[in-house]
Amino acid sequence: MRIVVPFSADRPKTRLGKVLTPDERREFAAAMLADVLAALGGVDRDLDVTVLATGPVEVEASVVVDDRPLTTAVNDRLDTAPTAVVMADLALATPDALEALLDSDADLAIAAGLGGGTNAFLARDPAFHVDYHGASYRDHLAIAREEGISVREVDSRRLAVDIDEPADLTEVLLHGDGAARDWLVDAGFELDVGGGRVEAVRE
């Protein structure tokens, strides 16, 4: 099965700009990508994984460099079904969570992200196409409806948590166990469990 992992290599994770420098954002994004590739590597299936990156990147997978906007670049790779697209910022993804998506035989299996994005999908029908940004999850359900594509909505916390905002770092410290969590700990992040909602803070 073909898996595409979109990756913004040059200026990733701008919404983390309040807590990470540009170099740190690049390192942290690369750590999350490594975690996603490791989770895909643990899936009990034969997967053909390609990182669809905006610039060169060194990873344990094949890389295609395409600097066009995300939607255009992904749509160009949906011509051959089945194809799954798994975002590179799913630092909590596990093989089990990914298998729940990849085992679906619906024309479209799709996992929402926090705030209405689309974190992962498997399209078995080449008529499906993406339109990312905004509440893309709703837009993707509408596209499937228009194309008469059967949908399975995959309800998965581990696939839903994409790491976009400073508050999301808390989830990585709480529930992550890979390179992204290690990177945050090395960078001095820790949990403040002092009162109210637990928070990631930097020493």
Ligand X SMILES: Nc1nc2c(ncn2[C@@H]2O[C@H](COP(=O)(O)OP(=O)(O)OP(=O)(O)O)[C@@H](O)[C@H]2O)c(=O)[nH]1
Ligand Y SMILES: C[C@H](OP(=O)(O)O)C(=O)O
Give the interface with ligand X as residue ranges (CB under 6 A): 6-8, 12-15, 52-54, 69-70, 73, 87-89, 164
To ligand Y, the closest distance from the beta carbon of 119 in angstroms equals 7
- Distance between CA atoms of residues 121 and 108, nearest Å: 7
Given 11, 45, 68, 133, the residue binding ligand Y (CB under 6 A)? 133
Which one of 117, 166, 176, 178 is in contact with ligand Y (CB under 6 A)? 117
Of 39-98, binders to ligand Y (CB under 6 A) are 70
- The helix or strand, by DSSP H or E, that contains position 192, with its residue range, turns out to be strand 189-192
Amino acid at 164: D
Q: Least distance in Å: CB of 135 to ligand Y?
A: 8
User: Least separation, in Å, of the C-beta of 142 and ligand Y?
Assistant: 13
User: Position 170: which residue type?
Assistant: T
- Determine if 12 is a binding residue for ligand Y (CB under 6 A): no
Q: How many residues bind ligand Y (CB under 6 A)?
A: 10
Residue nearest to ligand Y (CB): 117
What percentage of the chain's residues is helix, strand, coil (to nearest 5)?
Answer: 35, 20, 45
Rounded Cα–Cα distance for residues 150 and 108 (Å): 6
CA nearest 120: which of 6, 27, 32, 1? 6
The two three-digit tokens of residue 77, written as one number: 């790779």
- Residues that bind ligand Y in the complex, under the rule CB under 6 A: 70, 113, 115, 117-118, 132-133, 136, 162, 164
